[in-house]
Structures are given as structure tokens and as C-alpha cells.
């Protein structure tokens, strides 16, 4: 049993029919409940629920403060290689993009780690493209070992791996796994992942199961908003998160909410999502799983991110470079995986969080204590 089996219980056409029949009374009833079921979650994701956004936000704010207090956790991503064997039509690292590819040496990784640590950031998210020949598990494990002394927590956002591989990285000190399904809609998934290992929907959708089984403490799931019809994608993301939380009781679950920005190759999303719908999905996540973290990346604009503090966001990145080697080197000719919209430094982000009456939390973990 895995989420691949679980998701078979849901039929996309049934969900469409359900969504088109949601009434205001349904939404009001869902909003009045203390604990909500998947059908309530769908009610809150429906188009008519857009009219109840303020009420949803009021409730989301109260739940977020209750569970997370007036705090926002900070983290920073580090890209160590942009080699990739996949052909994902929305991604800057797409193998057909004629870009200058780089893989950092272990010395360079340490330099990047030190440069990042100087900003005060203590929670690191380590990323690579998918190219097992160029960046095998040994290399990733060595990178973790070199970075460990500089950080309190290291998570990975990489190609899906086998349970044994995850276990190796867990033993090396990795605490968390971020893995986006990108598209839960199988037809869309096939359409946007033209070739490479990533074209294997089944292997990818079970990766969070394998990560949780390997003992990662924190699992983050997400759909890449813009690829497929957003309300259903958000629903499946929520069901996925709930499934992980229910199945692996000792795993902390969180949502990421990446939304497509222009990458190298100029991909235009088929299902662009408005700020309003984005916030509606976020509120629905919060009401469905009040204890789940919600991460908002620098793909989103500074002002928009500021406004999400307090109504549901719990984790923000800052001072971000999405090009390989971007932290230690002043000039780089590397291509970013996607364009970032919020270029604020760590200090600027922390100040913005304080200005909203929240405490920026740099450290909420210490890998030597656990595992």
C-alpha cells in the first residue's frame, strides 16, 4: 500500500462533478466545523468558496497562530549541480536547454555552505538536477557530510530515490525531504515530462512514502501550480499530505506552493493561477491540516509573501540564489532553475517578518540530537 494505491480511490471526473455542485450552504457548513474531511476540503477549494476567502483567512490565521505561534521559520536552498537527464518542458535545467552546466566540487560546496552560514541561515535545503551518473548518491552523501558542520538541519530536494538510498542520506544527517509531484493529473504529467526517469509517474508519487519509511522527519509535498487544473491539483496535494500524516505518524508534513514563473525556454503555463486562487488553496490547506507547515518560496513577489505571513505561511526562504555556485561567487554565468521574484537578503526578510509582528526563527532543529 502506498499513495499510488490511495489515489486510485479518487476519480477526477467525480471530483469535477462534485466541484461543480458545491453550494454556499456546503461551504458554510465546512467553515463551521472544527475538523474537516476531504469532502469539506473540496468545498473550500471550489470556485464559489472564493467568495468566502476572508472568512477562510480569519480561521486560517487563528489556526496558524495557535499551532505555530507568531513565528516564521527561515531556510535557504543550495543548488550543487544543474546537470539533468530529464526533459521537463517547464524547467530551466531541461536537458535540451543549451546551457552551461556545472557541478560543484566538494571544496566549492563547502565555500557555498560557509558563505550561506555567514548570513545566519541554519536550515539548508540541498538541490540537484537528476543525473545519477554525474551526481550519484556518493557525491550527495559527501556534500551532506561537508555541509553538516555549518548547519543545524539539512533537507534535500532532488530526484526520487530508493528507500535504501534515502536511508543512507538520513544516516548522513539529512532530516527532511521535499519532493513535488509537479502534476497529480496523469495525462498532464505525461505531457510535460517528455523523457528521462522523471517521466515515471508511479516512481515519483511513491517517493514521499519511501522517504518517510527511511525515517526522514519532515516531508514536504506540492503540486507545481500552473501545470494542471489547480483546484484538483490542490485537492490531491492535500490528500497526499494527509495520507503521509496518517500513515507515518512520526513524520511532520508540510506543503510547498510553487507556482510557475518563466524559466529558460519560456514555458507559458496552461493553467495560470491568480493570486486569489493561490491564497484560497493555501487557506484550504491550513483548514484541512491545521498542523501542516506551509512553505512559500521566492518565486513569489516580496509584497505578496509579506501578506501571507500570519494567514498560513510558516516557512520562508530568503537571500536565495537558484543558480549553481551563486552564493560564493560574485559573478556567475549559470542559468537559474526558475526566475525568483523576491530578491531580499536574509536580513531584509527577517526585518519584514518582524515588521508584521512575527519572530524570524533561524533554528528549530539540531541534527546531532536526532536520528
Residues that bind other proteins (CB under 8 A): 65-71, 117, 120, 122, 152, 217, 245-246, 249-253, 291, 354, 357-359, 361-366, 368-371
Query: Nearest distance from residue 252's CB to other proteins, in Å?
Result: 5
* 110/252 with CB nearer other proteins: 252
Measured distance CA(191)–CA(227) in Å, rounded = 10
Cβ(204)–Cβ(88) below 8 Å: no
Taking the complex as a whole, the smallest distance from the CB of residue 226 to other proteins amounts, in Å, to 30
Q: Which is nearer to other proteins, 14 or 368 (CB)?
A: 368
Minimum CB separation of residue 356 from other proteins in Å reads 9
Least Cα distance to 225 among 300, 308, 124 occurs for: 300
Which CB atom, from 217 or from 232, has the smaller least distance to other proteins? 217
- DSSP, res 48: G
- Minimum distance between the CB of residue 221 and other proteins, rounded to whole angstroms? 15
**Minimum Å distance from CB 145 to other proteins?**
18
Beta carbon nearer to other proteins, 116 or 273: 116
Q: Is 299 helix (H, G, I), strand (E, B) or coil?
A: coil
Q: Which CB, 148 or 191, lies closer to other proteins?
A: 148
Distance CA 364, CA 293 (A): 13
Nearest approach in angstroms of CB 365 to other proteins is 5
Question: Which residue's CB is nearer to other proteins, number 230 or number 361?
Answer: 361
> 277 vs 137, 274, 289, CA distance in Å?
38, 5, 18
d(CA 26, CA 83) in angstroms, rounded, equals 48
Helix extents (H) in the chain: 3-7, 12-20, 24-32, 38-45, 53-68, 106-117, 137-147, 163-172, 186-192, 201-205, 207-214, 230-247, 275-288, 302-308, 346-355
Nearer to other proteins, 101 or 123 (CB): 123
For residue 304, the tally of other CB atoms under 10 A from its CB is 14
Cell readout for 338 is 526558475
- What cell numbers appear for 318 in the block? 530568503
Whether residue 286 contacts residue 65, with contact meaning beta carbons closer than 8 Å, is answered with no
Q: How far is the CB of 169 from other proteins (least distance, A)?
A: 18
Q: Give the chain's radius of gyration (CA, Å).
A: 20
Amino acid at each position: 500500500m502506498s499513495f499510488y494505491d490511495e489515489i486510485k480511490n479518487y476519480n477526477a471526473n467525480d471530483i469535477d462533478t462534485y466541484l461543480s455542485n458545491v453550494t454556499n450552504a456546503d461551504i458554510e457548513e465546512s467553515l463551521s466545523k472544527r475538523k474537516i474531511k476531504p469532502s469539506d476540503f473540496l468545498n473550500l477549494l471550489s470556485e464559489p468558496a472564493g467568495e468566502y476567502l476572508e472568512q477562510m483567512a480569519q480561521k486560517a490565521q487563528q489556526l496558524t497562530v495557535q499551532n505555530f505561534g507568531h513565528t516564521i521559520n527561515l531556510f535557504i536552498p543550495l543548488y550543487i549541480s544543474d546537470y539533468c537527464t530529464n526533459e521537463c518542458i517547464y524547467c530551466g535545467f531541461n536537458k535540451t536547454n543549451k546551457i552551461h552546466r556545472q557541478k560543484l566540487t566538494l571544496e566549492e560546496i563547502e565555500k557555498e555552505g560557509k558563505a550561506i552560514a555567514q548570513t545566519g541561515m541554519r536550515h539548508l535545503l540541498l538541490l540537484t538536477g537528476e543525473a545519477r551518473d554525474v551526481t550519484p548518491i556518493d557525491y550527495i552523501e559527501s556534500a551532506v557530510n561537508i555541509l553538516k558542520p555549518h548547519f543545524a538541519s539539512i533537507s534535500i530536494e532532488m530526484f526520487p530515490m530508493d528507500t535504501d538510498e534515502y536511508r543512507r542520506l538520513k544516516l548522513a544527517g539529512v532530516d527532511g525531504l521535499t519532493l513535488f509531484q509537479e502534476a497529480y493529473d496523469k495525462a498532464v504529467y505525461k505531457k510535460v515530462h517528455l523523457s528521462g526517469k522523471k517521466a515515471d509517474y508511479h516512481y515519483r508519487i511513491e517517493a514521499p512514502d519511501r522517504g518517510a519509511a527511511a525515517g526522514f522527519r519532515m516531508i514536504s509535498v506540492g503540486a507545481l501550480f500552473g501545470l494542471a487544473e489547480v483546484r484538483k491539483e490542490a485537492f490531491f496535494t492535500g490528500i497526499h499530505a494527509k495520507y503521509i500524516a496518517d500513515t507515518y505518524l512520526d513524520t511532520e508534513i508540510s506543503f510547498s506552493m510553487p507556482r510557475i514563473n518563466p524559466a529558460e525556454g519560456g514555458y507559458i503555463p496552461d493553467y495560470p493561477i491568480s493570486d486569489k486562487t493561490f491564497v484560497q488553496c493555501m487557506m484550504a490547506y491550513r483548514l484541512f491540516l491545521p498542523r501542516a507547515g506551509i512553505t512559500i518560496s521566492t518565486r513569489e513577489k516580496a509584497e505578496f509573501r509579506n501578506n501571507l505571513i500570519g494567514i498560513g505561511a510558516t516557512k520562508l526562504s530568503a537571500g536565495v540564489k537558484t543558480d549553481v555556485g551563486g552564493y560564493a561567487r560574485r559573478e556567475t554565468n549559470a542559468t537559474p532553475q526558475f526566475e525568483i521574484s523576491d530578491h531580499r537578503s536574509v536580513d531584509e526578510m527577517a526585518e519584514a517578518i518582524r515588521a508584521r509582528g512575527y519572530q524570524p526563527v533561524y533554528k528549530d532543529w539540531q541534527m546531532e540530537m536526532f536520528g
